[in-house]
Amino acid sequence: MHSYLRSIGFSDIKNRRQLTPITKEIIANPTTKNIVTVDADTRLVQLNKDFGKHFGISLVGEMDIDNTISFEYYFPYVRSSFIMNQERIYIEKHGDKESYAGVCEDYNLGMTLIFFLTNISDYANTKWMNYSNHLITKAYMSGLSTSGKVILDIEQLPPANREHKCSSVNRNKLIEAARQGDRSAMESLTLDDMDIYTQVSRRAHYEDILSIVETNFMPYGIETEHYSIIGNILDCSLCENDYTKEPVYLLNVETNEMLMAIAINEKDLLGTPAPGRRFKGEIWLQGNVIF
């Protein structure tokens, strides 16, 4: 079973037999149905079924020349209204099935960002129409979590916020220059990192690390699309899974200047979320790319 089904309120699904009536419901009453030609005698089929506000399950499979559908896999999803802008987003295919990952260089994070592509049928259509080589720069970002906690925020003065935004812009320019081979930019970034390390090491002697680090975004585990994050909660709502009646939290979170929507089962979230507090947990990062 998909380990992130519980994130959207299916925590009691333990085997395929329990999943069967759910897949039948998706096939019988999909919220959206996309059928895309991928070659002369095969079409890709993606069925999305919402089981609550902005979240649901997607079935992906193939339809042959006889109109027989065979579903290859499924995945839970949560929709987002937050757009991430990048210089370029590349789409890479997973090796074991007809699924894809989005890959981009994020200067704010200082790392390569990898996310699971949720609108697979849209990408398949661009390939068939020979549009897939066009420049892709935007995606709606979201995440599913099976473990998280709510922690208190850090008090920030307005001038500090302005200085942070200015320094962030300057750092992004330095990173871009360093990537182009600018040695002075490399030296500046190295000195900045050394200063930050010194400050954090000094403060860590008498402060908790969570009072020093406001937000955090780093890879988690061995799977490329999984991340450990600390983010500021901008908004939150408690919804209900229409099928299981389990409560699910939808959180709008900002982490390292990236905005995303996160879904987590109420039983998996320690604490009560509220705007101004922070979310700390592990997520499976998803993206709906704008083609």
pLDDT at 164: 59
Q: What distance lies between CA 209 and its chain's CA centroid?
A: 25
- For the ranges 79-83, 169-173, 205-209, the lowest mean pLDDT is seen at 169-173
Does 176 reside within a domain?
Answer: yes
Does 196 reside within a domain?
Answer: yes
Are 44 and 62 spatial neighbours (Cβ–Cβ below 8 Å)? Answer: yes
Nearest to 119 by CA among 80, 87, 86: 80
Average pLDDT over every residue of 118-126: 92
Nearest to 84 by CA among 51, 107, 62: 107
Q: How far apart are CA 121 and CA 34, in angstroms?
A: 6
Q: How far apart are CA 205 and CA 208, in angstroms?
A: 8
Are 97 and 72 spatial neighbours (Cβ–Cβ below 8 Å)? Answer: yes
For 201, list phi and psi in degrees, rounded to 5: -60, -40
pLDDT digits over 27-42, tens only? 999 999 999 988 878 8
Average pLDDT over every residue of 49-57: 97
Is residue 208 classed as helix, strand or coil in its secondary structure?
coil
Average pLDDT over every residue of 10-35: 93
Does 172 reside within a domain?
Answer: yes
For 133, list phi and psi in degrees, rounded to 5: -85, 0
Range of the domain at 163: 155-213
CA atoms within 13 A on the CB side of 142: 25
Read off the amino acid at residue 56: G
Does 182 reside within a domain?
Answer: yes
Does 76 reside within a domain?
Answer: no
User: Structural domain tally of the chain?
Assistant: 1
Are 38 and 128 spatial neighbours (Cβ–Cβ below 8 Å)? Answer: yes
pLDDT at 206: 86
Does 174 reside within a domain?
Answer: yes
Does 119 reside within a domain?
Answer: no
pTM: 0.90
pLDDT at 40: 77
Which residues, in sequence order, are CB contacts of 62 under 8 Å at separation 6+? 38, 42, 43, 44, 45, 69, 70, 72, 98
Average pLDDT over every residue of 123-129: 82
Average pLDDT over every residue of 87-102: 90
pLDDT at 133: 56
pLDDT digits over 208-221, tens only? 888 888 899 999 98
Does 47 reside within a domain?
Answer: no
pLDDT at 130: 67
Q: How far apart are CA 238 and CA 70, in angstroms?
A: 35
- For the ranges 64-68, 99-103, 120-124, 252-256, the lowest mean pLDDT is seen at 64-68
Average pLDDT over every residue of 142-163: 80
